[in-house]
Amino acid sequence: MDLPAPHEPDLPRTPPLRLRGTTFDASRPAVMAIVNRTSDSFFVDNRHADLGSALAALEAAVAAGADIVDVGGVRAGQEGEAVSAQQEMDRVLPFLETARSQFPGLVLSLDTWRAEVAREAGRIGLDLVNDTWAGHDPGLVGVAADIGAGVVCSHTGGLPPRTDPVGVTYPPEPGGVVVDVMRTLAEGAQRAERAGIPAERILVDPTLDFGKTTAHSLRLLRHTGDLAGLGYPILQALSRKDFVGESLDLPPEDRLEGTLAATAIAAWLGATVFRAHDVRATRRVVDMVAVIRGDRPPRLALRGA
């Protein structure tokens, strides 16, 4: 019988991300380690209210292969303590100062929605502002431009900071949540460019779980390749999230395997930056996917040679 000629899959690709003189792309995906300077993070193993604990986590993340370290001083969800801007700065600034001193070439990211916090962090040498709450503070993107940092554009379904989703709906299919996310991310990225941030320093993040049901998050994960069409590098923040937990009926401490499965899918579909609690495992997964996609060669090629 005649067999069809094989052909290489047409895989989604995005432009490179360039931060602190380093280029990240499909051949060099980036792992963004999470360091939470809080006592109430949803994942118990990433609670680093003590500065010494946070700095130990920093060193461990770098040793495990992190390219970016993202520090946050406020829990994302509405549960937990109220944190003022000054308290947030008291938590994140000493960490960033030490991190910059110990690891001069490391890309440092700040998870905040507050412009005043980002501006103070910029005096230390911040590389990326991770605006998880989709421009809630309209001055934040201008601060990122002023301090020479990149920015993460996110989607929360219109919810303000620290709001858990309840009764979330989007327009009916076709399109639905995917079109809403793509429109919001495109608008956010365009605002960032108008503010003076180069496209190579702008990331788009569909922000799974935020303002979304598990069904919404799973649909967005499957459509990662469509997000690549926006023309910006894609960040996927998947680590141990509720959409993984609800999919498998597991608590945060048991969501590693589900997270890694989601990570592999997102990497195959064109995401190149991955925010993760489990740096070493994520590093190996995204590097392996890059080899399978053909974006980079195996480190060794001895078998059968």
Which residues are known to be catalytic?
241, 275
Can you give the C-alpha Rg of the chain in angstroms?
A: 19
**Backbone torsion region of residue 8, taken as left when φ is above 0, otherwise alpha when ψ lies between -120 and 50, otherwise beta:** beta
Peptide bond into 174 cis (omega under 30): yes
| Kind and range of the H or E run holding 95 | helix 85-102
Enter the tokens of residue 16.
């490179």
Please report the DSSP string for 266-305 in residue order.
Answer: HHHTT--EEEES-HHHHHHHHHHHHHHHTSS--S---TT-
In angstroms, rounded to a whole number, what is the distance separating the alpha carbons of residues 162 and 79? Answer: 8
Which phi and psi angles does 48 have, rounded to 5°?
A: -130, 60
SS3 92: helix
CB-based contact 92:58 (threshold 8 Å): no
Position of tokens 């030490």? 98
In three-state secondary structure terms, 70 is strand
Structure tokens at 222: 């499957």
Q: Is 86 exposed, middle or buried (0-12, 13-18, 19+ CB in 10 A)?
A: exposed
276 neighbors 46 (Cβ within 8 angstroms): no
Q: Is residue 144 a contact partner of residue 201, using CB atoms and an 8 Å limit?
A: no
